[in-house]
A = this chain, B = another copy of it.
Amino acid sequence: MDRIVYTPIGVIRSPFKQVTGAPIQPGGAKGVRGSAELNPAMEEGLNDLDGFSHIILLYHFHRSEGFALTVTPFLDDQPRGLFATRAPRRPNAIGLSVVRLMARENNVLHIEDVDILDGTPLLDIKPYVPEFDVKQVERCGWLADKAKGATDVKADRRFA
């Protein structure tokens, strides 16, 4: 299995039309509203989702091309192994954000804390479930004293 083909199930809408200045993580997008607009044919799959306060969005970083296996992340001044970062330029450019679900309206999800570029192709939606998704972390590597900075740092063009 050396090629896996996916088809977007919809598109993400947000105030961030450009890479430069976009937040680099949901912490930097507190209160920012957007939406996930599903293809109408997928609408039925959204049933029961409005019971969840948070959802996981998986999407394609459509503005990223290529990748490097060593990168200097927005939050650091040291080069790091790509898979130890959340940088968008990846061999498979899949993005992951946990966002707040405000409401569902037919095929549209109104979401908050959106750190995603407008027009991003949406690949999947999953309910965020503490029993599955919350872990007690002992070590947080190079991000241990830097992750909090993600609230303030905005993207530049290094991964565009």
Contact = CB atoms under 8 A, between A and B. Distances in A.
Interface of A: 1-9, 25-27, 42, 44-54, 56, 58, 60, 62, 69-70, 80-86, 90-92, 94, 96, 98, 100, 121, 123-135, 137-144, 147-148, 150
Contact of A130 (B3, B140, B141): B140
B4 A127 contact: no
29 contacts: A1-B8, A2-B8, A3-B5, A4-B7, A4-B8, A4-B60, A4-B121, A5-B5, A5-B6, A25-B131, A26-B132, A42-B69, A44-B69, A44-B81, A45-B70, A45-B91, A49-B81, A50-B141, A51-B140, A51-B144, A52-B139, A52-B143, A86-B127, A86-B132, A94-B123, A129-B143, A130-B137, A130-B140, A133-B133
A127 B98 contact: no
Number of copies of this protein chain within its complex: 2
